Amino acid sequence: MTALAIVFWSSVALIVYAHLGYPLLLSLLARLRGPQEFRWPQDLALPTVSVIVPAYAEEEVIQQRIANLHDEIAFPRSKLEVIVACDGSPDRTAQRAREAGADLVLELPRGGKVRAQDEAVRRARGDIVAFSDANAHWAADALVELIKPFADPRVGYACGEVKLLGADGTNQEGLYWRYELAMRARESRLRSVTGGNGAIYATRRDAYVEVDPVMGHDLSFPFTLVKRGWLALYNPAAVASEKMVPSLEGEFARKRRMMAHTWPIVLRGGLLSPRGYGALYAFMIFSHRVLRYLTPFLHLVALGTAIALIGQGWVYTAAVVIQGAVLLGALSAGFVRWRPLLIARYYVLTTASLAAGLWDWLRRGVEAGWEPAEGTR
């Protein structure tokens, strides 16, 4: 086998492993470990909880968010504090938050979501600090379920399940998200999750870490807390819902922005350093995060080497045809709204967003500020 063929087969194997092999192996290992259940002991008092909602230009939804937390959540009001941290909001977000009865409203200079969260944690009174997006809606028992993992003193971080609403557009994020949540549940059963979400998560107040303002909590918190000796777990019974971006093109733009914030975490934020990881967690970080972020480059290598190897076996021709068919299907989805084509377009655009986010970060850096994603309010 030539060196070029070795490169081709290696890149193909890594792509297949990242998308199929790792989830299958994870499922097998999790099955051997058994189910994961969370209970709060009856003789253990509920902790006080501060729910922090960072907000920028959220006047349309902030009152509903606070009403949901105050009136619909089955949690003792005396143990619940709702904090809205306005990150230089240019509208009436702060005013409407006060009108809705938020316990504390912070009007902060524009510094980004992470810095708004940091300041809110400094002012919080709760033993647990929970976080939520302004456009999220929590189920009645979501907060009770979110804190259950903390009955184990080894747990420093917990996240819940996010149900995406608005599947009538072209975006196929819901399909991928179900796949992602299945892996998250299995990682939690084995050791700890490798990523979270912004709609519903929490940490112990004394486990909270202030990270670089361009590095969001979703990726940086789980592995950082694991390095510090904590468990980072997922409880699917803690349910939140959010509207997803309606269009594939909007999803590409959202993921591109996210990846511009993700690459700094990967390359200089400590994710690649094995220090503090056990062998199993290091394996999960490599399989779920590192390989996933490398897939656009692996695809380019596989395509380029397959083209160079045409004439040396039918498999190389097939590899070029298959990748070309996926690209053609993705292009066709812009004109024909057929689900297989939309899935192909989703895969191509979201894979491309990984590379586009890296390009954006390397070319011009990334600002800490953020704005609501298109069509999600």
d(CA 21, CA 287): 9
> Pseudo-torsion of CA 269, 55, 62, 237, nearest 10°?
10
At residue 168, does pLDDT exceed 90?
Answer: no
The distance in angstroms from the start CA to the end CA of the chain is 55
Residue 61 CA, chain-centre distance (Å), reads 22
If one counts the domains in the chain, the total is 1
What's the maximum distance between 2 C-alpha atoms anywhere in the chain?
73
Looking at residue 280, its pLDDT comes to 96
248 vs 149, 167, 180, CA distance in Å? 35, 11, 18
Q: Is residue 309 part of a domain?
A: no
Which whole number is the average pLDDT over 262-288?
95
For residue 144, the model assigns a pLDDT of 97
Domain-embedded: residue 93: yes
pLDDT in tens, 59-75: 999 999 999 999 999 99
Residue 170 lies in a domain: yes
Are the beta carbons of 366 and 264 closer than 8 angstroms? yes
Q: How many CB atoms lie within 10 A of CB 16?
A: 12
What percent of the chain lies above the pLDDT cut of 90? 86
pLDDT above 80 (res 368):
no
Domain assignment present for residue 154? The answer is: yes
pLDDT at residue 337, rounded to an integer: 86
At 365 the pLDDT is 85
Phi/psi for 290 (5° steps) reads -60, -50
CB 156 within 8 A of CB 232: yes
- Report pLDDT for 377: 65
Q: What local confidence, expressed as pLDDT, does residue 171 receive?
A: 80
- Specify the pLDDT at position 244: 86
| Domain interval for residue 89 | 49-246
Residue 61 lies in a domain: yes
What percent of the chain is modeled with pLDDT above 70? Answer: 98
Q: Is residue 189 part of a domain?
A: yes
Judge whether 362 lies within some domain. Answer: no
Band (375; pLDDT cuts 50, 70, 90): low
Question: Across-strand partners of 155?
Answer: 231
Q: What is the pLDDT of residues 182-203, one digit of tens each?
A: 999 999 999 999 999 999 999 9
Q: Which residue has the tokens 């819940």?
A: 160
In a domain, 11, yes or no: no
- CATH number for the domain that contains residue 112: 3.90.550.10
Q: Please write the tens of the pLDDT for every residue from 341-366.
A: 999 999 999 999 999 999 999 998 88
pLDDT at 174: 84
Average of pLDDT values for 240-245?
A: 92
In this predicted model, what pLDDT tens digit does every residue of 19-34 receive, in sequence order?
999 999 999 999 999 8
DSSP letter string over 206-240? Answer: GG-----TTS-HHHHHHHHHHHTT-EEEEEEEEEE
If we measure between CA atoms, which residue out of 51, 213, 62 comes closest to residue 132?
A: 51
Q: What CA–CA distance (Å, rounded) separates 51 from 82?
A: 5
105 and 94 in contact (C-beta within 8 Å)? yes
pLDDT at 79 over 80: yes
Q: For CA atoms 62, 68, 73, 77, give the dihedral sign.
A: positive
Task: Tell me the pLDDT band of 169, cut-offs 50, 70 and 90.
Answer: confident
